[in-house]
Chain A
C-alpha cells in the first residue's frame, strides 16, 4: 500500500475510522434524541435513520482529511457534546 506518501498517521486514521467513528455515530444518536425539535417518534427514529450517513461521512473524513488531528478533534467534540447532552437529559429524567 503506497500510503506513506498519500496518508499521514495511518494507524491513527485506522483507529479513528474503525473505532472512533462508530462510537461517535452511536453517541450522536443518543444525543440527537435530546435536542431535535420534533415529536417523540421523530426524535427517536430520525437519528436511527441518520446513523449510516453519519458513520460513512466520519469514516471517509478520517482518511481524506489533510491532517489526522482534524477528524480526531471533530469526532471527540461531537462525542463530548452529545454525551453531555445525553447525561443531562438522563439526570433530568431521573430527577
Chain B
C-alpha cells in the first residue's frame, strides 16, 4: 500500500476518532453496563423478582382462565403472559389486548393485570391504550442506562439515528485502524508501562484495538443495523415493493396468522404447553406466551424463549390442545440466509445468548471498546502538545482534559449514582413512581460534573475526585441495601442480590484503588505549600 494512502487512512482514523470520541465512549460504556441490565440487575433492583422467577404452570393457566372471564369479549383476541424473569416486567403480567379498540378507544387498547410472582396477589390493573401501558412500565437503574445506550433518551428516530451512525463510524475507525497498523502481530503483546504515560496510552490503544477488532466490527455492524433498521433501512427496502410502508413489509414477512374462531369451546391447555416447552429446552427461559383464540378449538399459543442451545431467541408454536407444531425465529417463518444473519445480530450485540460468563466477556470487551476512543483522543492531544512548536498550548491541553473528564467521567459518575439511588427508591417510593427520578438524577449529576470542569483548574485532581466519588457511590450500595433492602448480603435471602452487592463493593474498591494510585498533582501541592 502506498505511503500516501496509509497517511490518508491515518488522518481519516484520527479525525473520525476525535470527532466521535466522547459520544462513542458514552454509548460504549453504557452498552457495557446494559449487558447486565436484563435480567441480573433488573432482578437486583426489583424485590418482587428476587424470590420466585418460576411460577407453577397450572397457576398461570388458572389466572388466564379467571381473568379472561372478567374482560369483555374483544379483549380475548390476544392474551399475553409476561413471565417475571427479569426480561420484561417486574411482576407477572397478564395482558388482554384488543387490536381494533373498543367502545371507549379507537386505537389498540388493553386490559392488564399484574401479580406478585411469589404470592400471585393482584398488584396493579390497567385499562387504556396499549402504547401508553408499554411506555410507562416501571423502569430501574440498569434498564434506564440500557435505554440511554439505545437512543440517548433523545427519542426515536433522532436518538436511534445518532447511535446507528456511531456504529457506522466505529466500523470506519476499526477498518482504518487495522490498515494503518502494519505490524499487527508484533503489537499484539507490546505494552510498555515503564516508558511514560503517553507510550503506555499508545500501546494500550493498539493492544485493545488489534485484539478487539473482531468484537468492534461485530458491535459496529450490529449497532448500525439496530439503530438504522427502522429509520432508514426498512423504509428504503420497502420503497419499491411496499411503497415505503415498512409496517406493511414487516406484517407481510413476520405476521403470525390470526386463527379462525370456530366458536367451539375447547379449553386451551396452557399447563401442558408450558411443561412441554420446559422439557424440550430445559436450559432456556420462557419470556412470554401469546394465546390467540383462547379456549376455542382453533386456539394457537406462541412461546418466546431465550437461551439454551439456540443463540437467537425462538418462538415455539403450539395448538390449543398442547400439541407442539414447530419452532421458528422470533421474526416468524422467513426463508433464506439473510434472516439467519439478522437473527444472530441481536444476541451478538447484547451478549445474552449463553449465560453470565459470556455476559461478563461482553462487559469487558465493551469497556475495552469504550477505552479505545478515549485513549485515541489522549494520543491525539498529547501529539499536539509535543515538540518544539506544539499546536496545542498547555492551557488548551488542560481544558481538553477537563472537558473529557467532565463529559466521560461525568457519565461514569452519573451511572454510579443511579445504583445507590435505586436502593433508596426501593425503600421510599412505590412502583412506577421510580420512573420520575432516574432522568433528573442521571442528567443533573452529569451536568453538574460537566459544569465543574469549567472551574476546576487542576485536571489531575479533578480526575482523582471523579474516581473517589464513583468509589463512594458504588461502595455505599452494599451498606444501604443491608440496612434498607428486604433481601441483602446479611440475610442472604437472594444469592443474586448478595452477589451483586458484593460486586458493586469490589468495583467501588477498584475505583478507590485508582484514586489512591494516581498521585495528586505536585504543582498544586507546591502552590498550597507556598501559600
Contact = CB atoms under 8 A, between A and B. Distances in A.
Nearest to B1: A64
B513 interface: no
B154 interface: no
Nearest to B12: A63
Interface residues of B, number: 39
A9 B7 CA distance: 16
Given A30-B239, A42-B338, A48 B15 contact: no
Contacts of B237: 29-30, 33, 44-45, 47-48
B240 A90 contact: yes
Interface in B480-525: none
Interface residues of A, number: 35
Contacts of A1: 11, 15
A3 B14 CA distance: 12
Contacts of B232: 26, 51
A56 to B, nearest CB: 5
Nearest to B228: A51
Contact of B175 (A26, A34, A56): A56
Interface stretch (B89-97, B165-173, B306-314): B165-173
A30 B240 contact: yes
A29 B236 contact: yes
Output the residue of A44, A59, A93 with the most chain B CB within 10 A.
A44
Contacts of B224: 51-52
B229 interface: yes
Given A41-B253, A60-B176, A64-B5, A51 B233 contact: yes
Nearest to A33: B240
A73 B167 CA distance: 27
Output the residue of A26, A59, A63, A64 with the most chain B CB within 10 A.
A64
Nearest to B222: A52
A52 B238 contact: no
B240 A3 contact: no
Nearest to A90: B240
A19 interface: no
A84 interface: no
A67 to B, nearest CB: 13
B341 A60 contact: no
Interface stretch (B110-118, B259-267, B329-337, B456-464): B329-337
Nearest to B9: A64
Interface string A37-80: 01111111111110110011001100110000000000000000
B236 A30 contact: yes
Contacts of B229: 48
B342 interface: yes
Contact of A48 (B11, B171, B225): B225
A31 to B, nearest CB: 8
B249 interface: yes
Contacts of A3: 11
B208 to A, nearest CB: 21
Contact of A39 (B172, B221, B336): B336
B275 interface: no
A41 B340 CA distance: 12
Chain A interface helix/strand/loop/mixed? helix
Contacts of A38: 336
Nearest to A34: B240
Contact of B336 (A2, A45, A59): A45
B234 interface: yes
A45 B342 contact: yes
B221 A44 contact: no
A56 B338 contact: no
A28 B4 CA distance: 30
B172 A59 contact: yes
A94 to B, nearest CB: 9
Contact of B172 (A7, A51, A60): A60
Contacts of A29: 233, 236-237
A52 B171 contact: yes
A34 B240 CA distance: 8
Given A38-B336, A42-B338, A60 B12 contact: yes
A6 B236 contact: no
Contacts of B225: 48-49, 51-52
Nearest to B175: A56
B241 interface: yes
Contact of A63 (B8, B175, B240): B8
B205 to A, nearest CB: 20
A56 B233 CA distance: 15
B175 A60 contact: yes
Contact of B335 (A26, A41, A90): A41
Given A39-B335, A41-B339, A45-B338, A55 B239 contact: no
B81 to A, nearest CB: 30
B241 A44 contact: yes
A49 B8 contact: no
Nearest to A64: B8
Contacts of A6: 4, 7-8, 11
11 contacts: A6-B4, A33-B237, A41-B253, A44-B253, A47-B236, A47-B237, A51-B224, A56-B172, A59-B168, A60-B9, A93-B241
Interface of B: 4-5, 7-9, 11-12, 15, 167-168, 171-172, 175-176, 220-221, 224-225, 228-229, 232-234, 236-241, 249, 253, 334-339, 341-342
Q: Please provide the 9 A-B residue pairs with the shortest distance between their CB atoms, ordered closest to farther.
A: A45-B338, A29-B236, A42-B336, A48-B233, A52-B224, A44-B237, A89-B240, A30-B239, A64-B8
Given A6-B4, A48-B233, 18 more contacts: A26-B236, A27-B236, A34-B240, A39-B336, A42-B338, A45-B334, A46-B338, A48-B234, A48-B338, A48-B342, A51-B228, A52-B225, A56-B168, A59-B172, A63-B8, A64-B8, A86-B239, A93-B241
